[in-house]
């Protein structure tokens, strides 16, 4: 059946993240998402694989290294521009959004902030041009308790030997560069955690089973196997024992990115619901003319706007160098809740049709669930907010 939802102008314009006009940047990302990604969403979801051609286009358009400075081959954009891209991609396909999100807010930002000049020269040009990165923190026993890591880094001549397993690693199937967290000094507890940059070709390193997921199915989520992986000392990111600090600071920023993803998802679901309500007729008129439907759409629109405002307020604080921990947690918590409720309501606006795969809202509903789980569960965000409020 035809999709009554997202439409856009077909006017072509090269994308550049150096545009000073953020609205113009938003429009060009939106056009790319709807024209290029949109037609492939269903096939990618059903095949559980992101189109490699689209990944190449994301690199060509500068979306995989938005904040990477021009001296390292990036476009030298802003954190807010990264959020704009994530939001607009999510309105079409949340899988595309999380691929871009992890690359920008976690991997690139960690290297930009903690990398030595030599590390930046080695890795940032690759991440900006053709190399997917992954952020390997989680383990079977280290979810919300992120620092209960079992992976070990044994110091040996010339560097470190990594052993252990990582789980639920986004981008793992496509990634070439991995930020791997392991404990180099277990006796020191979380103060022994260290971040290592590991290439996919390293001996003893393997990407294991890919998860078969409810939603964001085109985004790969896999386990990593570390079987005596040798890492040179110069491939330690930051300092030995400072991995916990890298993880905390990058995840605080990453949660704003997840907020943008969920706000974009909700906006996409709302737009489909509005378009369908205008065309679907019952009792001789469009269902958008019934007060109950109009009120429901109004509530959905209000929720979407509040989520977006929280996200961009957190981004504003981050870019101005002010504390943003509470605001990032609020944005992630609220946007993920809004995404789930708005996507659910969108299914209801579609009625029985919304429960089928003939229309896109059922996919938004499936994709929304992960927002309350990854990069810090809803409960963890609420605890963070409470600590800040009660301080």
* Catalytically active residues, by annotation: 375
Torsion sign (Cα): 277, 279, 280, 286: positive
Give the start-end residues of each E strand in the chain. 133-136, 152-156, 159-170, 177-183, 193-199, 205-210, 221-232, 236-237, 281-282, 285-286
Residues 349 and 306: their CA atoms lie apart, in Å, by 21
**Residue 158 backbone class (left: φ over 0; alpha: ψ -120 to 50; beta: rest):** left
**Do residues 294 and 343 lie in contact, with contact meaning Cβ atoms separated by under 8 Å?**
no
How crowded is the C-beta side of 172, counted as CA atoms within 13 Å?
24
> In sequence order, what DSSP letters do the residues of 142-160 get, joined into one string?
BSSSTT----EEEEETTEE
Residues 280 and 286: their CA atoms lie apart, in Å, by 5
- Tokens of residue 3, six digits: 């999709």
What lies within 8 Å, CB to CB, of 212 at 6+ separation is: 48
**Do residues 194 and 242 lie in contact, with contact meaning Cβ atoms separated by under 8 Å?**
yes
Residues 314 and 133: their CA atoms lie apart, in Å, by 24
What lies within 8 Å, CB to CB, of 390 at 6+ separation is: none
CA proximity to 379, closest of 102, 387, 339: 387
356-359, long-range: CB < 8 A, 24+ apart? 357/42, 358/1, 359/1, 359/3, 359/272, 359/276
**Do residues 380 and 330 lie in contact, with contact meaning Cβ atoms separated by under 8 Å?**
no
């Amino acid at each position: 059946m035809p999709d009554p939802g997202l439409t856009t102008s077909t006017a072509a314009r090269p994308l550049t993240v150096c545009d000073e006009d953020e609205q113009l940047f938003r429009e060009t990302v939106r056009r790319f998402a709807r024209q290029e990604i949109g037609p492939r969403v269903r096939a990618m979801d059903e095949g559980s694989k992101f189109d490699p051609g689209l990944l190449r286009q994301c690199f060509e358009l500068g979306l995989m290294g938005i904040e990477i400075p021009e001296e390292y081959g990036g476009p030298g954009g802003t954190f807010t521009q990264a959020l704009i891209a994530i939001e607009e991609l999510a309105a079409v396909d949340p899988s595309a959004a999380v691929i871009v999100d992890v690359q920008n807010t976690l991997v690139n930002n960690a290297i930009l902030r903690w990398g030595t000049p030599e590390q930046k020269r080695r890795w940032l040009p690759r991440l900006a041009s053709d190399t997917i990165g992954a952020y390997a923190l989680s383990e079977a026993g280290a979810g919300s308790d992120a620092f209960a890591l079992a992976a070990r880094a044994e110091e040996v001549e010339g560097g470190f030997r990594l052993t252990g397993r990582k789980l639920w690693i986004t981008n793992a199937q496509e990634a070439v560069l991995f930020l791997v967290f392991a404990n180099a000094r277990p006796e020191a507890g979380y103060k022994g955690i260290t971040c290592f940059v590991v290439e996919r070709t390293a001996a003893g390193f393997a990407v294991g089973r890919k998860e078969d997921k409810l939603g964001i199915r085109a985004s790969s989520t896999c386990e990593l196997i570390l079987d005596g992986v040798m890492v040179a000392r110069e491939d330690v990111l930051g300092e030995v024992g400072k991995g916990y600090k890298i993880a905390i600071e990058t995840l605080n920023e990453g949660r704003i990115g997840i907020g943008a993803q969920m706000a974009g998802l909700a906006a996409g679901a709302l737009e489909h619901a509005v378009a369908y309500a205008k065309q679907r007729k019952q009792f001789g008129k469009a269902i958008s003319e019934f007060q109950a439907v109009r009120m429901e759409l109004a509530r959905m629109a209000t929720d979407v706007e509040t989520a977006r405002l929280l996200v961009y307020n957190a981004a504003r604080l981050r870019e101005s160098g002010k504390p943003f921990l509470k605001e990032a947690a609020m944005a992630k918590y609220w946007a993920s809740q809004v995404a789930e409720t708005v996507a659910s309501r969108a299914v209801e606006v579609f009625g029985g049709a919304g429960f089928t795969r003939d229309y896109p809202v059922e996919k938004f509903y499936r994709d929304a669930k992960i927002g309350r789980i990854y990069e810090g569960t809803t409960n963890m965000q609420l605890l963070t907010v409470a600590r800040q409020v009660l301080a």
